[in-house]
Amino acid sequence: DIDDVGHKYYLELELEDVLDKDRPVTCTAEVLYPLGSKASAADVQVTVQGELRSTEEADKEFYDRIRSLEKELVAENIPDSHGKVPPELEPIHLLAWAASGYVIWQNSTENTHFHLAQVQHVKQVKRSDEDLQFDFVLLLHEMVSQEVLPWELSVLWQPGRGARVCRCQGPGAGS
Amino acid sequence: MWALLVLIGAASVSAHLQELSFDGQKVFRVLPQNDEQVEILNFLASIMEVDFWQPDSVTLVRPKMQVDFRVEADKSFEVEDLLKESGMEYQVLIDNLQAAMDAQFDSKARTASHSYEKYNNWDTIAAWTADIAARNPDLVSRSVIGETYEGRPMYLLKMGKSGPNKKAIFMDCGFHAREWISPAFCQWFVKEAVETYGKDSVMTKLLDKLDFYVLPVVNIDGYVYTWTNDRMWRKTRSKNAGSICIGTDPNRNMDAGWCTLGASKSPCAPTYCGSAPESEKETKALADFIREHLSTIKGYLTIHSYSQLLLFPYSYTYDLPANYEELNSIAKAASKELASLHNTKYTYGPGANTIYPAAGGSDDWVYDQGIKYAFTFELRDTGRHGFLLPESQIKPTCEETLLAVKYIANYVLEHLY
């Protein structure tokens, strides 16, 4: 407890790459949840001890594939009702997963527990620069209230640069 | 001469036409032990129409042979009396042939075919309940415990070898519509019971000594809605007075600390507790059944997803139940059994501390009624797929969960009260 500021948590974490399960990476983090009803994202400092694997080849393949599409990519319900993801949409699913991390971070408190439930909709937006842009509608499930709510956000990405959220809209703010 | 033949022909045609409905006709299975009993069957075949299913004809019947035969509806009582008097071992294989045939045609014609490794829609599940009961009459019987808000029959399967004074375990699935892996597990359990009875010693003992009441889907209307309109729906589909919002959370609707914690008074909320305890037809039907069978039900399991948790009372308070130590050690052992198959880690403990405080839950209500072994399962996974668990995970999830359920059932059997 930090008086007049909030609650600070010191964490030791193990990061598991779902696509590379046998090599977990240790991290440490400090998370400060601010006091007060004003909705404000937790302050997070992370240190990754160890190396994350390189995805250079797969990134390039995906990038080239999307750039060469005649029509902008549009897709819905990833995974579908039965839990299936078509293989060519798997990278979009993973990108959505990363993007959901941003929304979850922005909206989490000590009393919420969010997960990405489904990608309701994704639309590629053509750009003149090097970035790929995807506009998502993500369904987030919050465990305590049991709400499943749609969050809109746009993500920019290109190989070698992390995913960046460029606009964020959604119902209400905070918990 | 020709006129006579035509008349006889017409008579036999009309006789056959009357036979087109099999309503009320019974199929018996008998085991004649000796020549005397074989003779009784011969006698039967001489005084009425008996359609032998196996063997093909009464002349092939021998002692110790399993014999199946069909008789007309109006003769079935006579036949049963005769078999009883003779002391011959018999059972009614099919109680109403027309019903059994209808069920078979239902599952093929109107619906997609049933699979234990796929998610089945409600029509398919409903047809399956009829089919599984018709095909395993000595182990499974189906009844209706009530109707949903939208008028659908709530089917209950009673599993177990019939016997006197048997105690029972009650298990339900599908409280929350979007938790599709839950009804899949109830179907899997029933399949395992009928397929491994007589082969697996634990399952055989459990079905011999206990009855299992299995309610494959509690919230049928909600489940249908997740197939037709909104995959993420949770609640029932009942209208709420004075609100455009639909549905009540059935697992906040039971009379256990009702609506005090962890539930919402707003009809628009996913955890809406309802207008009153048991306001929902579905929860009322469940509660009524349990109240009516309170003296025989000794264990209760309710299956949900997701989070990989094994919970026990209480969730409506942080207070611990009287037999906390016992419940905790059962949960610990059951979780270990579950993990032994695919290394799936479960967390266990009392609901309020382990997941969140939530009043109106079925496990708490059942526990306070005196059923001291009450558990809630939250099945796979922990959030990667959440409600959208891929069909490829149905089998491993069900297999591991079955180990835990068998452990708990066996414990209850060995600690009857």
pLDDT tens sequence across A63-113: 999 999 999 999 999 999 999 999 999 999 999 999 999 999 999 999 999
- Alpha helices by DSSP H, chain A: 56-67, 90-107
Single-letter amino acid code for the residue at B343:
N
DSSP conformation class of B264: B
Of these ranges, B1-10, B73-82, B288-297, the one predicted with the greatest mean pLDDT is B288-297
Domain range list for chain B: 26-102, 122-414
CA distance A147 to chain B (A): 6
> Is domain A54-174 given the CATH code 2.60.120.10 in the classification?
no
| Residue range B231-249, pLDDT digits in tens | 999 999 999 999 999 999 9
Whether B378 is catalytic is: yes
| Residue range B119-151, pLDDT digits in tens | 999 999 999 999 999 999 999 999 999 999 999
* Confidence label for B107 from pLDDT (cuts 50, 70 and 90): very low
Between residues 234 and 293 of chain B, which touch chain A (CB distance below 8 Å)?
Answer: 234, 249, 262, 269-271
- Beta-carbon separation of B389 and A83 below 8 A: yes
Topology match between the domains B26-102 and B122-414? no
Q: Is B384 on the interface with A (CB under 8 A)?
A: yes
d(CA B132, CA A131): 56
pLDDT of B115 > 50? The answer is: yes
Chain B interface disruption, residue of A16, A77, A82, most B CBs within 10 A:
A82
pLDDT of B29 > 60? The answer is: yes
- Omega before B55 cis (within 30°)? yes
Q: Is the dihedral of CA A18, A24, A29, A32 positive or negative?
A: positive
- Predicted local distance difference test score (pLDDT) of residue B13: 46
Q: Is A21 on the interface with B (CB under 8 A)?
A: no
Beta-carbon count within 10 A of A71 CB: 7
d(CA B80, CA A174): 71
- Beta-carbon separation of A83 and B390 below 8 A: yes
- Beta-carbon separation of A84 and B234 below 8 A: no
- Beta-carbon separation of B387 and A139 below 8 A: no
CA distance A1 to chain B (A): 21
Lowest mean pLDDT among A136-140, A142-146, B15-19: B15-19
CA B175 to mean position of chain CA atoms: 14
Query: Chain B partners of A143 at a C-beta cutoff of 8 Å?
Result: 307, 356
Query: Chain A partners of B383 at a C-beta cutoff of 8 Å?
Result: 115-116
- Predicted local distance difference test score (pLDDT) of residue A50: 85
Q: Is A88 on the interface with B (CB under 8 A)?
A: no
DSSP conformation class of B392: G
Q: What are phi and psi of B365, to 5 degrees?
A: -65, -45
- Predicted local distance difference test score (pLDDT) of residue A168: 42
* Confidence label for A125 from pLDDT (cuts 50, 70 and 90): very high
CA A56 to mean position of chain CA atoms: 20
Q: B198's torsion region: left (phi>0), alpha (psi -120 to 50) or beta? A: left
Q: Is A139 on the interface with B (CB under 8 A)?
A: yes
Domain B26-102 sits in CATH at 3.30.70.340
Strands (E), B119-209: 140-147, 153-159, 167-173
Tell me the β-bridge partners of A164: A156
Specify whether the CB–CB gap between A81 and A147 falls below 8 A. no
Q: What's the start-to-end Cα distance of chain B, in Å?
A: 78
Specify whether the CB–CB gap between B319 and B195 falls below 8 A. no
Specify whether the CB–CB gap between A6 and A34 falls below 8 A. yes
CA distance B386 to chain A (A): 6
Tokens describing residue B276: 């009153």
Tokens describing residue B27: 């199929």
ipTM of the prediction: 0.88
Select from A18, A81, A116 the Cβ nearest to the Cβ of B231: A81
The CA R_g of chain B, rounded to the nearest whole Å, is 25
d(CA B300, CA A72): 52
d(CA B50, CA B92): 15
d(CA B78, CA B73): 10
Specify whether the CB–CB gap between B144 and B153 falls below 8 A. yes
Domain B122-414 sits in CATH at 3.40.630.10
d(CA A148, CA A117): 8
| Residue range B198-211, pLDDT digits in tens | 999 999 999 999 99
Specify whether the CB–CB gap between B121 and B111 falls below 8 A. yes
Taking one residue from A and the other from B, the number of pairs with CB-CB distance under 8 angstroms is 55
Residues B292-297 have a mean pLDDT of 98
Topology (CATH level 3) of domain A1-53: Nuclear Transport Factor 2; Chain: A, (3.10.450)
Query: Chain B partners of A139 at a C-beta cutoff of 8 Å?
Result: 232
Instruction: Please list the residue range(s) of chain A that carry CATH number 3.10.450.10.
Output: 1-53, 54-174
pLDDT of A173 > 60? The answer is: no
Q: What share of chain A has pLDDT > 90, as a percent? A: 74
Give the predicted TM-score (pTM) of the model: 0.79
